[in-house]
Amino acid sequence: MVTQRTESSGPGAVNLLGGSSQPTFFALEEPRGPQVSRPEGSDAQRVRVWARSLSGMQKEAIVASSQPGPAWRLASDEGPYLSGFDAAPCPLAFMTVGMISSYMDALHAAARHRGIDIGDVVLAQDNRYTMEGSALQGTMTGGALPVALDVRIGQTVDDSLARDLVAEAVAASPVGGLQRESHTSRFRLAVNGEPLALGRVTPLPEPVASQPDPRERFERVAPATEADGGQVSRLYAVTPVAGVEGGLGSSLRAQQRRELHVRAVCRRRTGGVNEIRQELHSPLGSTFQFLSCDGVGEPGIAPDALCYMAAGVAFCFMTQLGRFATIMKRELTGYRLVQDTTYVKGTPGHPGTVGAVDTHVFLDTPDGADFARHCLDMGERTCFLHALYRTPLVPNITVTRV
C-alpha cells in the first residue's frame, strides 16, 4: 500500500496515489481479503468499509461484502475545487455510480423474472446536493435534492411494459429504500487512541461492539495477481480555473451557498457488467469511467453497486472532516473509520431497503477533545451523503425509447 502521510491540502500535501507503483483500484489478494458476515437471520447484504486519510484530500478504503467475491481497494481524491490532486474520483462519484448500477441491475433482474429480453438499455442519472451556511459559525449544512433518472429502453417491449419494469426495478433496488425514508446515521468516536463522548450526533447503541482502529489493516493488503486497475479510469481531466463558480479552491470557502451536480450514464456490457461514465459538472471536475458487476457474470471483475455506494458515504464524510479542519486552521494529522451499511434487494411485492450508516471514527489531533467532537459533528452535518440518508426524497423518473 502507499505510505500514509496525513497533512492538510496545500503546500505540504503529497500526491501519494499518483506516485504509487500499485494500481489505484484492485481486488485484494486472497486469503488476505477480510471476510464480512451476513446479518444474522437476515437476507441483507452487509458492506464494511475500512478507510483512512492519506495526504491532502486523498483517501483509500478496503471494501468487503457479505456477498461472494473479493474485497476491493478503492481510493478517492478531490479536484481543483478542493485543492486536490485529482488522482481518483471524488466521493460523490462513487454514490452516483453505485445508485445507477443498482437501478440497472434491478431492471435486468425484473426482466429475467418475467422472461423478457429488454434489448438495449441506457440509464442517465443526475444527483444534486446543496451546501449552505458558515463553517466558522457552525451553521454550514449539506443537503440532498431529488434524483433525476432517465431510463432509455429499447423497442423490444411496449411502452406500458417498459414503465411497469422500470417501476418494479426502482422499488426493488435498495436505492429506492434509501430515498423512501429518513435514516439516522450513528457513530462512535476515538481521539488519539481514547474513546470520547459524542456531541450532537447520534451514538451507536451499546450492544454494538467497538471496532478496532483500522490503521494496521492497510499494511497487510496486497493486490491480486495481475491486478490492472481497469475497474476505474479517468477519461478526461479537468483544467484548473480560478475565479469561476466551482473553480480552483472554491469549496474551501468558509461561507457557502452552492449546488453540486454529478451525472452518470450507464450501459450494460455482456456478462452482467455495467459501464458507467461519470461526470462532475458542479464544482468543475474530471470525467471517469467505472465498471460494476452484479454477480450474474464472473465474480471479481469489478465491485458491485452496493460496495460503490458504501465507499461513497465513507469518502464523502472523510472529505468533510478534512475540509472543516482546513477551514478552521486546526491540525487533523490523521483520520480513519470503520463503517457498516446493510442493504436488502427487493423482489416483486417486496421493496428494497437500506439500514442506517454505522461508523466508528478515529481522529488524530493535538487540538483536543472539544475540537475533535466538533469536527465529527460538522463532518456529519456537512456530508452530502449522510444528508442523502436522512432526507426522504421522491426521484424524478422518465422512461423514453433508445
Average confidence (pLDDT) over 44-63: 96
Quote the CA–CA distance of 138 and 79 in Å, as a whole number.
25
- Can you give the pTM of this predicted structure? 0.95
Is the pLDDT confidence value at 348 over 90?
Answer: no
Per-residue model confidence as pLDDT tens digits over 161-195: 889 999 999 999 999 999 999 999 999 999 999 99
Is the pLDDT confidence value at 198 over 90?
Answer: yes
Is the pLDDT confidence value at 226 over 70?
Answer: no
Is the pLDDT confidence value at 6 over 80?
Answer: no
Residue 4 confidence class, pLDDT cut points 50, 70, 90: very low
Which of 18-27, 78-87, 145-154, 280-289 is least confident?
18-27
Average confidence (pLDDT) over 11-31: 83
> What is the distance in angstroms between the CA of the first residue and the CA of the last residue of the chain?
43
% of residues, the chain, pLDDT over 90 = 73
DSSP letter at 88 equals S
Quote the CA–CA distance of 287 and 290 in Å, as a whole number.
10
Quote the CA–CA distance of 318 and 311 in Å, as a whole number.
11
Closest CA to 78 of 54, 102, 48: 54
pLDDT of residue 8: 43
In DSSP terms, 262 is beta-bridged to 127, 280
Average confidence (pLDDT) over 326-354: 94
pLDDT of residue 225: 65
Cα-Cα-Cα-Cα torsion 304, 309, 310, 313, nearest 10 degrees, comes to 160
Which of 93-107, 139-153, 232-246, 382-396 is least confident?
232-246
Average predicted confidence (pLDDT) for the chain: 91
Residue 209 confidence class, pLDDT cut points 50, 70, 90: confident
Nearby residues of 137 by Cβ (< 8 Å), 6 or more positions away: none
Residue 41 confidence class, pLDDT cut points 50, 70, 90: low
> Which comes out higher in pLDDT, residue 361 or 35?
361
Cβ–Cβ < 8 Å for 142, 320: yes
pLDDT of residue 294: 82
pLDDT of residue 313: 98
Quote the CA–CA distance of 200 and 184 in Å, as a whole number.
12
> Which comes out higher in pLDDT, residue 118 or 281?
281
* Grid coordinates given for 205: 447503541
* Grid coordinates given for 13: 500535501
Is the pLDDT confidence value at 367 over 80?
Answer: yes
Cβ–Cβ < 8 Å for 381, 187: no
Quote the CA–CA distance of 397 and 384 in Å, as a whole number.
21
Within 13 Å of residue 109, how many CA atoms lie on the same side as its CB? 22
Is the pLDDT confidence value at 30 over 80?
Answer: no
- Looking up cell 434491478, which residue turns up? 106
Residue 7 confidence class, pLDDT cut points 50, 70, 90: very low
Is the pLDDT confidence value at 13 over 70?
Answer: yes
pLDDT of residue 299: 61
> Which comes out higher in pLDDT, residue 223 or 242?
242
* Grid coordinates given for 300: 471479481
> CA quadruple 241, 318, 73, 387: dihedral positive or negative?
negative
CB atoms within 10 A of CB 11: 7
- Is residue 349 helix, strand or coil? coil
Give the gyration radius of the chain's Cα atoms: 20
Is the pLDDT confidence value at 115 over 80?
Answer: yes
Average confidence (pLDDT) over 205-226: 83
Strand spans (E) along 161-249: 186-191, 194-195, 202-203, 232-236
Per-residue model confidence as pLDDT tens digits over 262-280: 999 999 988 789 999 999 9
Is the pLDDT confidence value at 33 over 70?
Answer: no
> Which comes out higher in pLDDT, residue 296 or 170?
170
Closest CA to 289 of 261, 310, 314, 269: 269
CB atoms within 10 A of CB 132: 15
Average confidence (pLDDT) over 191-203: 95
